Amino acid sequence: MNEKPIILTRKVQLVINSDDKVVVSEAFKTLHQWRYICFRAANYIFTHLFIQHQLKELFYLRDDVKVKLADSAKDPNGILTTSQLNTTYRMLSARFKGDIPMHIIATLSMTLAKHFNNEKQDYLKGEKSVRNYKRNIPIPFGIKDIAHLQPIKDGREYSFELFKIPFRTYLGRDQFYKRPLFEKLLKGDMILHTSSIQIDKNKIYLLAAFEIEKEINDLDISIVAEAHLSIDYPIILHIGKMRHTIGSKEEFLHRRLAIQAARTRAQKAASFNRGQHGRRRKLKPLEEFREKERNYVEHRLHLYSRRLVDLCVQHRAGSLILVGQTEKEAAAAEDELVLRNWSYYSLKQKIEYKANKAGVMLITE
The residue type found at 188 is G
User: Residue 1: its pLDDT value, please?
Assistant: 43
Whether 115 is covered by a domain: the verdict is yes
Per residue of the chain (365 residues), what is the pLDDT tens digit?
446 678 888 889 999 999 999 999 999 999 999 999 999 999 999 888 888 777 766 555 555 555 655 555 666 655 556 666 777 888 888 889 989 999 999 999 999 989 988 888 888 788 888 888 999 999 999 888 999 999 988 878 899 999 999 999 998 776 667 888 888 888 888 888 999 999 988 899 999 999 887 778 888 888 888 888 777 788 888 888 888 888 887 777 778 888 888 888 877 776 666 666 666 667 777 788 888 888 888 888 888 899 999 999 998 888 888 887 666 666 656 655 554 566 777 888 888 888 888 888 888 87
Question: In this structure, are 208 and 118 located in the same domain?
Answer: no
Q: Say if residue 45 is in the same domain as residue 172.
A: no
233 shares a domain with 248: yes
Length of the chain: 365
Q: CB-based contacts of 332: which residues, under 8 Å, 6+ apart?
A: 338, 339, 342, 344
Residue pair 152/168 in contact by the 8 Å Cβ criterion: yes
CB atoms within 10 A of CB 33: 12
CATH, residue 230: 3.30.420
125, 157, 184 - which closes a domain: 125
In terms of domains, do 18 and 38 share one? no
- Looking at 67, 93, 125, the residue that finishes a domain is 125
Claim to verify: residue 294 and residue 242 sit in the same structural domain: yes
pLDDT of residue 339: 47
Considering the domain architecture, whether residues 236 and 349 belong to the same structural domain is answered as yes
- The helix-helix angle for 284-314 and 255-268 (nearest 10°) equals 170
Asked, for residue 133, whether it belongs to a domain, the answer is no
45 in Cβ contact with 243 (< 8 Å): no
Count of the separate structural domains present in the chain: 3
Give me the residues paired with residue 9 across strands. 209
- Verify that 15 and 55 share a domain, yes or no: no
**Among 165, 186, 212, residue at a domain's last position:** 212
> What pLDDT is attached to residue 70?
57
- Within a domain: residue 131? no
**Residue 57's pLDDT is what?**
64
Alpha-helix runs per DSSP H in the chain = 21-54, 84-96, 102-125, 175-187, 249, 255-268, 279-282, 284-314, 325-334, 336-341, 344-358
Question: Are 114 and 252 members of one domain?
Answer: no
pLDDT attached to residue 178:
84
pLDDT for 28 equals: 94
- Give yes or no: residues 298 and 180 share one domain: no
Asked if 231 and 322 sit in the same domain, the reply is: yes
Give the containing element (helix H, strand E) for 172: none
Instruction: Tell me: do 351 and 261 sit in the same domain.
Output: yes
| Cβ partners under 8 Å of residue 194, min gap 6 | 107, 111, 140, 141, 142, 143, 209
Together in a domain, 232 and 304: yes
> Which domain does 97 fall in, by range?
30-125
* 220 in Cβ contact with 237 (< 8 Å): no
Residue 80 pLDDT:
59
